[in-house]
Structure 1
């Protein structure tokens, strides 16, 4: 995904949620026979493969150029490129329908939180042996990205985008209130104290902001605080986010939203970033996708680690994937693997992700001239790249995660709006999520 996509910020629209439930309920688990989908692949065979990029117009043009370049070097491989759906959010619905009608692509962009349902569809290739070949450079991808690409013990995709949450702050607002800038060592208590000082109702300015839409944007911002407190999202196949750690994490946010009223509550996912850019929110937990619009707003800003608990500054990464699908044709399967290996290589990826304002996929790209140019264009990008080291855990790739996410998002929204207490809200969300995860 790209900067432009991040206005949606992992937002699960009703169609996407319904599609996930359809995949989980109707596909019922893998139909993989255990045979390698590309066994016996002839790299010289003439094949046509379909690539759903999930990208808006500007990025789609870059994808088309790269596909044409690959075809020039491999004239036997024709790549049909299209966005696949009107928006990235719609891809899961389109894939679900395609699995039923046998009209699904060879490669598709997918949000990382779809991995469990796509892995359970029985249509994704098992890439485990392929990516673990030393020539692929699998360990060059961040650990969280590799984890999200793995569902049911099998690698079902290759990272397409990596990111993470850090703390972005407006220097002008800090200076106006005489508040010291955040540091990498800040605690959540430090964050709360600063947010109170920076809140000024006379100018409609808030210390920080949070989405209460109930979407994945609401949910995934809680996970780093949960992990910092030693909690888990799942314990095996059982919800565990309603532990003491989860309650403490949500109480951290509740105090700012309800007690201090220093947190702007965004009902849509769409407002808090523009409010930050216009100088009405002093700090936001956001990712590298925000840098383009911040730059356009000409703000003096800084980027530091997320606040921590007892010195733990874990963050969450939201990797997205290129998922490769099996059509029962070894040559198509092999061609898709070779193309995605090329696309995500350390030599080609800078011309894809860095060219459209995303972080590089691979650690080995940090010394590339393209990364140096990216950091110059997007100050703070190097901080987000370094912050990948703090992404030590990944969101679950179990089928049903999206349903769990919606339940947790609703619980968070209720608590931050003063309609429920953390323990009761999380207990309710856990109870509602049991069947979604275990079925």
Structure 2
């Protein structure tokens, strides 16, 4: 099996699209204004992929063309890397020349919608045959960034689950985690798994101040009843009693129990876990290939819960659709994405490539079972998408918000300051970012 290099939590986002907000959206001259499904049409599709992933999608595009001879798909990665697509889209918007479909990180969704170039497909996905409810709540929320227009289809879903090292558990005589675990169970196990003499830790947490630091915190916040943003999404809401309680729990583990390996790099903790030096990590499907390659004896279950709430965090990516002012192009863009994200095709795309399936109906298929055999625990992670209830915010100020709270979390876990003071200071910085200052 080829190694997957999926970026876990990209949040690169800026003001690149702000310059085009308010301009009339069009791609060149005015196109067809009355739908003719039989008319010849060319769809431009930027996939954001490379190598094997691009080859798979090119094959699927050819198949769609064979099914619909009047449709030609101009498929390409769109840019030399996925991260560069946002700037490429911005330039295209400014020059009124942009694709019908583009891969996009979910964190770009609000920026893309604010460009006034996106296509609202709310009516199209209301068709029961689309099976919109089969996508996770987080995935559906990400393609509906303001709660109004739906601007595309989910392209990739993930989540973080609890991965445990059986070798470390067995050596400490600790029973493996279960789906009924609370965070108190988790903390108790982490203490028992920690062995300073052998430099073994019960758990690991990033203190790099990156989004890795941030998004690991969101399930604790949500399960405690806290929120990231105010109801109008204009201000930070994490500096609450619920937020302080969530951070205090982690502080106690890191500072009092000394059961957490504090990772400054975002990557070393996974290497130490694979080497049987860390008992538990909360991570996603991108880790499984490495663990199997290393021969690590591991298990996977859902995150511990609070009063039965086992919420996780997800970072869905999307297929963004753009209005090119040609109703035939718009029609076939939607049809292509409906077809691509249908279970039959997703099994040959996401599942074949080693990603989680987009839809719940794919979990009980032979194709997914084959991947689970190669990557044990992938089935648990797929089912865990049901616990991906909330979506990370896609507001343009999220980068600054993430940096602010990540630094606060890192400081507290390293024994600097109290959760209340750190979160309050972080919220002030986050509010400045959210307001554009």
2:183 to 179, 188, 191: 188
Residues of 1 paired with 2:102 and 2:290: CA distance?
27
Give 1:312's aligned residue: 309
| Alpha-carbon spacing, 1:5–1:325, altered in 2? closer, same or farther (3 Å) | farther
TM-score, structure 2 normalization = 0.91
Residues of 1 paired with 2:415 and 2:156: CA distance?
36
1:169 matches 2:164: yes
Give 1:275's aligned residue: 272
Give 2:338's aligned residue: 341
Instruction: Give 1:220-299 correspondences, 5 Å limit.
Output: 220-236=215-231, 237=233, 238-299=235-296
Residues of 1 paired with 2:414 and 2:33: CA distance?
55
1:217 matches 2:205: no
2:41 to 44, 47, 52: 47
1:4 matches 2:4: yes
Residues of 2 paired with 1:28 and 1:434: CA distance?
22
Residues of 1 paired with 2:173 and 2:348: CA distance?
42
**Residue-by-residue CA offset, 1:64-108 (whole Å, 9 max, x unaligned):** 111111122223222222223333333323333333334432211
2:395 to 395, 398, 402: 398
| Alpha-carbon spacing, 1:398–1:309, altered in 2? closer, same or farther (3 Å) | same
Segment of structure 1 superposing worse, 409-418 or 290-299 = 409-418
Instruction: Give 1:42-191 correspondences, 5 Å limit.
Output: 42-152=36-146, 153-191=148-186
Q: Is the 8 A contact 1:112 1:148 kept in 2?
A: yes
> Secondary structure of 2:99's partner?
coil
> Secondary structure of 2:44's partner?
strand
| Alpha-carbon spacing, 1:183–1:68, altered in 2? closer, same or farther (3 Å) | same
Q: Structure 1, unaligned stretches of length 5 or more? A: none
Q: Is the 8 A contact 1:292 1:357 kept in 2?
A: no
| Alpha-carbon spacing, 1:47–1:420, altered in 2? closer, same or farther (3 Å) | farther
> Secondary structure of 1:151's partner?
coil
Segment of structure 1 superposing worse, 330-339 or 271-280 = 271-280
Deviation of 1:132 (Å)? 1.1
Deviation of 1:359 (Å)? 1.4
What value does the CA root-mean-square deviation take over the aligned residues? 2.4
**Structure 1 outlier segments of 4+, above 4 Å:** 27-33
Segment of structure 1 superposing worse, 248-257 or 172-181 = 248-257
**Residue-by-residue CA offset, 1:286-324 (whole Å, 9 max, x unaligned):** 112222222222222111111122332111222211111
Deviation of 1:156 (Å)? 0.9
Instruction: Give 1:323-338 correspondences, 5 Å limit.
Output: 323-338=320-335
Residues of 2 paired with 1:163 and 1:38: CA distance?
38
Deviation of 1:405 (Å)? 2.1
Give 1:199's aligned residue: 194
> Secondary structure of 1:265's partner?
strand
Matched pairs, number? 428
**Residue-by-residue CA offset, 1:177-197 (whole Å, 9 max, x unaligned):** 112211112222221222222
Deviation of 1:435 (Å)? 4.3
Q: Is the 8 A contact 2:103 2:155 kept in 1?
A: yes
Residues of 1 paired with 2:337 and 2:3: CA distance?
21
Q: Is the 8 A contact 1:3 1:289 kept in 2?
A: no
> Secondary structure of 1:194's partner?
helix
TM-score, structure 1 normalization = 0.90
Residues of 2 paired with 1:425 and 1:315: CA distance?
23
Segment of structure 1 superposing worse, 385-394 or 118-127 = 385-394
Residues of 1 paired with 2:194 and 2:33: CA distance?
61
Q: Is the 8 A contact 2:8 2:315 kept in 1?
A: no
Q: Is the 8 A contact 2:397 2:433 kept in 1?
A: yes
